[in-house]
Structure 1
Amino acid sequence: MRDPNMLQETYSHTMDIYHYLLEGFDPRLKDYPLMQSPIPMTTILLCYLFFVLYLGPRIMANRKPFQLKEAMIVYNFTLVALSIYIVYEFLMSGWATTYTWRCDPIDTSNSPQALRMIQVAWLFWFSKIIELMDTIFFVLRKKHGQITFLHIFHHSFMPWTWWWGVSYAPGGMGSFHAMINSSVHVIMYFYYGLSAAGPRFQKFLWWKKYMTAIQLIQFVLVSLHVTQYYFMDRCDYQYPLIIHLVWMYGTFFFVLFSNFWVQAYVKGKRLPKQDIKRCPNGTTVYTNGKHHENGNGVNHISPITTNGSAHYENGSTHMGKMKKA
């Protein structure tokens, strides 16, 4: 049996560390929702993981997938508008006004511009909480093949780390990647919104392949920007740890997305095995054929091969058409 005194001492040390971390928080954020302690934020993310990895699939196991077309259209275009607003606020609160795009320290004053940066930094973090709905849509629509390690890691790790970044370092050169990420999300959620709108918009979605390329460019820009820090004679940015984390984050995700690019567009391994079906007459039908890059479960055009010729039909209606043929 463990010594109660030792357990008490361990608990006391843990609480000391916790209170020490809280003392370093930016006091200007104390009135913002979910910013008083990391516990609510961590609880939300743990509930998210529990639902998408365990509870949600079990609930949906014996149910038909939900048809959430209207909800997804509203959701995607709302995030487009929110992302545009976040990019604009980042520009106006420093990046297009007073920042040099090199060594930009955090403005710790209570000036209107500094408080504006605080606000948009929090809003960017909160948008990551909203984006957890991407995976919820996957689960409710039974698109389990799209709940990949890359998707889950990105949607859980990003808001957790950014909560700490906002708490300690809202603004300065460490916020560059947030502005770039929001810019990419304007394009990304616009694409998903069009896709959710139905087959009549499919002809406007020829640029799906380039979504991954845009994301790769994002990580290159982020890594290059923070790499400047290592070659400066002097930089007064207050939290170098943020710079190191951003560099590792950009490099790590560049590797993951590069691997996806190679597997999907170089080797052509875009079709999960469970999406390949064979009809009794030997016809091969590919359902849900195109893999998603970190999306929210929109319908894509799937190739249907019949008698040696390739046709394209919406993945949700191809079976009816095959029976009719």
Structure 2
Amino acid sequence: MDPTVDVSGVAHNYSFMFHFERNWEESTFWKYMIERWTDSFLYSVIYVVLIFGGRQIMKRRPKFDLRTALAMWSGTLAVFSIAGAVRTLPELVSSIKNNGMQYSICVPTYFNGVTSFWAFMFTVSKVYELGDTIFIVLRKQQLIFLHWYHHITVLCYVWYSYTDHTAPGRWFMVMNYTVHAVMYTYYAMRALKIHVPKQINMLITSMQLMQMIMGCIINYMIYNIKNKGEFCQQTYTNLRYSTMMYFSYFILFAHFFYNSYLTPKNVKKGQ
């Protein structure tokens, strides 16, 4: 971080801090990520081999039900995501309210205090979330490109970005925690055969699409800020990767939204 930039601001005052949040040593994990962030590529290769190899194996086998396991898996991620959203959203709101929008996307003070722990948890959770696809493979459900492409690119980008302490990660983290809080809760309820209105599914996809639009907007704002010669903690290289990633997500989620909710049923049947 540029030492000439004032990053003091007005930090969010958490009324309560858990022991693990108070004693989290962010610098230790940061050093680990600098040395090992490329492990994300290894995890991605193993992931691709397992899911596509698993699909070939499952072609000759009956599908597994796994409802109980899926409910536990999704329920765990739902609770985790809710906790992450509850603990990180207040800091984002405070950073905007007390210091302004530009501060919130350009100064990475969220790597201090409570949110530093949840930034760490957010980063490592991207490896854990790869397990989502195992259920799709074993239950012989449709594996779309958007699903596995999203998992791989998010994992690699998040691990790569952590080493630079990129400032817009504050926004990306909070948005992801929030969307996943709703999404995994929905998955857990479906696995438990609890009736959920179909509109909720559409709401989740809409939230995901808005997340991608917001990611593109933030990247555009940062590009303009940096072109003015003002400080913003994100390299042009990282900004390029982030823009490519979010724009590709926007296209894919928009296509998915259209096919899922806007295409006439008779056209769907024809497809």
Q: Smaller-chain TM-score range?
A: 0.7 to 0.9
Aligned-partner residue type, residue 106 of structure 1:
P
Going by fraction, where is strand more abundant, 1 or 2? Answer: 1
Structure 1 position 251 matched with structure 2 position 247: yes
**TM-score, normalised relative to structure 2:** 0.76
Q: Closer, same or farther in 2 for the Cα pair 1:63/1:35, shift >3 Å?
A: farther
Larger relative contact order (Cα-Cα within 8 Å, sequence gap ≥ 6):
2
Q: Closer, same or farther in 2 for the Cα pair 1:192/1:272, shift >3 Å?
A: farther
Structure 1 position 219 matched with structure 2 position 216: no
Q: Closer, same or farther in 2 for the Cα pair 1:256/1:68, shift >3 Å?
A: same
Q: After TM superposition, what 4+ stretches of structure 1 lie above 6 angstroms from structure 2?
A: none
- Deviation per residue, 1:18-67 (Å, 9 max, x gap): xxxxxxxx9543565x663134332222111001012x123323322122
Contact 1:102-1:173 within 8 A present in 2 as well = no
Among 50, 53, 56, the residue aligned to 1:58: 56
RMSD of Structure 2 on Structure 1 (CA): 2.6
Structure 2 counterparts to residues 39-54 of structure 1, below 5 A? 39-54=38-53
Higher-Rg member (1/2): 1
Name structure 1 gaps, 5 residues minimum.
1-25, 274-325
Shift of residue 244, structure 1, vs aligned partner: 3.6
Distance 2:72 2:240 in 1: 37
Structure 2 counterparts to residues 1-325 of structure 1, below 5 A? 28-30=28-30, 36-54=35-53, 56-92=54-90, 94-99=91-96, 100-103=100-103, 104-107=106-109, 114-143=112-141, 146-169=142-165, 172-198=167-193, 201-232=194-225, 233-241=228-236, 242-268=238-264, 270=268
Shift of residue 184, structure 1, vs aligned partner: 0.6
Aligned-partner residue type, residue 97 of structure 1:
S
Name structure 2 gaps, 5 residues minimum.
1-25
Distance 1:205 1:78 in 2: 23
**TM-score, normalised relative to structure 1:** 0.65
- Deviation per residue, 1:88-124 (Å, 9 max, x gap): 33235x41334533233224xxxx9615443222211
Aligned-partner residue type, residue 243 of structure 1:
L
SS of 1:102's equivalent in the other structure is helix
SS of 1:207's equivalent in the other structure is helix
Contact 2:47-2:130 within 8 A present in 1 as well = yes
Distance 1:73 1:189 in 2: 9
Query: Could you tell me the percent identity over the aligned residues?
Result: 24
Distance 2:270 2:28 in 1: 48
Shift of residue 175, structure 1, vs aligned partner: 2.6
